[in-house]
Amino acid sequence: MERSKKVPLSEDDCSAMLAAAREAVTYRADLKSSSVKPELRPADFASNFSTSLPDKGVSASSVIEDLIEVASKGLQGHASPRFFGYVCGGSMPVGAAADFLVTAWGQNAASSWESPSAAVIEQTVCQWCLELLGLPLDSGVGIVSGATVANTQGIIAARDTLLKRQGWDVFENGLFGAPDITVMIGEDAHSAPMAGIRYAGLGLGSAKRLATDEQGRILIEALRAELEACKNPPLVILQAGQINTGAFDPFAEAIPIIHDAGGWVHVDGAFGLWAHAVPSLRDRLAGVDSADSWAVDLHKWLNAPYDAGLCIVRDRNALVSAMSARGAYLPELGETWEPSDSTLELSRRARGVPSYAIIRHLGADGIREMITHHCVLATYLADRLSNEPGIEIMNDVVLNQVAIACETDEKTNRVLERVQQKGRVYPSHGVWKGRQIIRVSVINHATDQGDIDLLVDEILDANRRE
C-alpha cells in the first residue's frame, strides 16, 4: 500500500466510507424480507478471517468490500422487526445515522473541555431520559455501555455509601476488613445485577436470595423476614421487568421498609423501567421513583444502536464520588459535568449522541406510543397462541414479554428449533419455573401486527408438525 502521499481523507478512504454507507442502507432496506438467522455459523467461515497476520496492507476500499461480502453471511438479524429474542432493540435508522457521525467525528467523550459538543449533547440526553422515565431530575447519570455496567456502577455507589454510613472509607481502606453489607436480591433476578454484585466485591454467594411468586416478583414477607434479621444497612436489588414474564417487584411496599432499615434500593430496570414513561403503564411500577439508583438500557426499548445504557443515582455526589478517577481533586458539580466523572470509563466514544437523535426524532409522545404498541402486540400474540391446544402461555402478559410452552420440554425445544431453522422469525430459548419455554420479546421499533401474525403462524405450524 502506497503511503508516501497520504492525506487526511484520500480518494481510497472516501470510497471506503461511501461503500460502507451504501451497504448500511441496502442491509437495512432488506431486513423485512431477509432471513433473521445467520446464513453461516463461525466454523463455516472463520477461515475467511482467521488468517495469518498480513505483512502488507491493502486498500481501504478493498477491506470494506471484503467485509461486506464475507461478514454479511454471519450476521444475526438483531435489527429485524421479526427478531424476538433476548430483549434486543432494533437500532433505529436515525440512531444508526447519528452513530455514523459519532464514528467519523472520533471524539473522546470523557471531557467537556476536549469534546464540548459530545458533553452537552449527552447531558441533554440524560435530562430528557430522567424526565421521560419520571425519575428525580437532579439525579446523577452516567452513559455506559449497557445494563450490566449500569447495574455495577449503581451497586458500587451503594456499597461506598452504605460503608460510609458505618464509618468506613473505601477510598482509603479498600474492602479488606470493611463492615459487612447484607445484599438481598430476588431468586428470579437477571444475571446482570448478579454480575454487578461480584464486580463490586460483595460476593454473590453471600447474597440473600428472596423468594418470589409465580411471576418472579419478590415476596414482601420474605423481604420483611430478611430485614428483621439484618444487623447492618442492607443493599436490596429490585427488578423492573422480569426477563421471562415482564413482571415488576412491589416497589411501593418494598422500598419504604428497606429505607426504614437504613438500606439502599437499586433497581435493575434494563427494559422494564421504560414502562414508567407511559401514563397508562405507570401504575405497574408504582413507587419505583423512590429508589436510590436505577439501571436502564438505551439499546433496548429506546432502540438506540449498541452499546448504550444509563446508570442513574438519586444522590449525584454518590455517583461522582464512586466513579471519578480524580481522587481528592474532584471537580465542583456545575451544570456541565465531566462525563468521565459518572462512569468507569475515562476514554469512550460519544455513545449518547444516537439516543439524542432518536429522542429528537420521535419526541416523548412517539416513544410512549412505541412502548404502548409493543405491549398491545404482546397481548395480541398471547391471545392468539392461547387458543391452540397443547400451547400454554406461562406468564401474565403485563409488558412486552411472552413465555410460551408446549406439552413437554422436548416438544418445546423441537418447536423452537424448527422455527429458528426456518429463519423467518426468531424467538429465543428460556427456562421458567422449571420448564423449557419459547421466549418472545416484542421490542423492535418496526415490528407490526403482520410480524406477530407471521410469528404465530410459524409457531403453530411447527407445533402441529412435531
CATH number of the domain residue 390 falls in: 3.90.1150.10
Task: State whether 178 and 231 are in the same domain.
Answer: yes
Tell me, yes or no, whether 21 lies in a domain.
yes
Q: Is the pLDDT of residue 259 over 80?
A: yes
Task: State whether 44 and 110 are in the same domain.
Answer: no
Among 356, 375, 392, give the residue marking a domain's end. 356
**Look-up of cell digits 440473600:** 208
What is the chain's mean pLDDT, rounded? 93
Task: State whether 125 and 247 are in the same domain.
Answer: yes
Tell me, yes or no, whether 382 lies in a domain.
yes
Q: What is the pLDDT of residue 42?
A: 84
Task: State whether 166 and 315 are in the same domain.
Answer: yes
Task: State whether 400 and 254 are in the same domain.
Answer: no
CA angle 382, 385, 391 (to 5 degrees): 115
Burial 423-444 (b: 16+ CB within 10 A, else e): bbbbbbebebbeebbbbbbbbb
Tell me, yes or no, whether 4 lies in a domain.
no
Tell me, yes or no, whether 81 lies in a domain.
no
Rounded to whole angstroms, the Cα distance separating 225 from 371 reads: 36
Task: State whether 117 and 62 are in the same domain.
Answer: no
Tell me, yes or no, whether 94 lies in a domain.
no
Q: How many domains does the chain have?
A: 3
Least confident interval from 274-278, 317-321, 391-395, 439-443: 317-321
Q: Is the pLDDT of residue 335 over 60?
A: no
Q: What is the pLDDT of residue 377?
A: 98
Task: State whether 201 and 174 are in the same domain.
Answer: yes
Domain membership of residue 176 as a residue range: 100-356
What is the model's pTM? Answer: 0.94
Among 304, 326, 356, give the residue marking a domain's end. 356
Q: Is the pLDDT of residue 329 over 50?
A: no
Residues paired with 212 in a beta bridge: 218
Task: State whether 373 and 345 are in the same domain.
Answer: no
pLDDT tens per residue, range 50-105? 778 889 999 999 999 999 988 888 899 999 999 999 999 999 999 999 999 999 99
Task: State whether 350 and 373 are in the same domain.
Answer: no
Rounded to whole angstroms, the Cα distance separating 82 from 446 reads: 9
Q: What are phi and psi of 38, to 5 degrees?
A: -65, 145
Tell me, yes or no, whether 362 lies in a domain.
no
Tell me, yes or no, whether 361 lies in a domain.
no
Tell me, yes or no, whether 88 lies in a domain.
no
Torsion angle in degrees (nearest 10) through CA of 219, 157, 136, 147 = -70
Q: Is the pLDDT of residue 310 over 80?
A: yes
Task: State whether 26 and 166 are in the same domain.
Answer: no
Q: What is the pLDDT of residue 1?
A: 47
Any idea what the CATH number is for the domain that residue 317 is in?
3.40.640.10
Task: State whether 350 and 214 are in the same domain.
Answer: yes
**Cell numbers that stand for 185 in this block:** 436480591
Task: State whether 182 and 42 are in the same domain.
Answer: no
Q: Does residue 406 sit in helix, strand or coil?
A: coil
Cα 77 vs. chain centroid, distance in angstroms?
17
**Does 41 or 382 have the greater pLDDT score?**
382
Q: At 336, is the pLDDT very low, low, confident or very high (cuts 50, 70, 90)?
A: low
Contact 32, 78 (CB under 8 A): no
Among 356, 375, 407, give the residue marking a domain's end. 356
Q: Is the pLDDT of residue 331 over 70?
A: no
Residues paired with 368 in a beta bridge: none
Contact 336, 123 (CB under 8 A): yes
Q: Is the pLDDT of residue 134 over 60?
A: yes
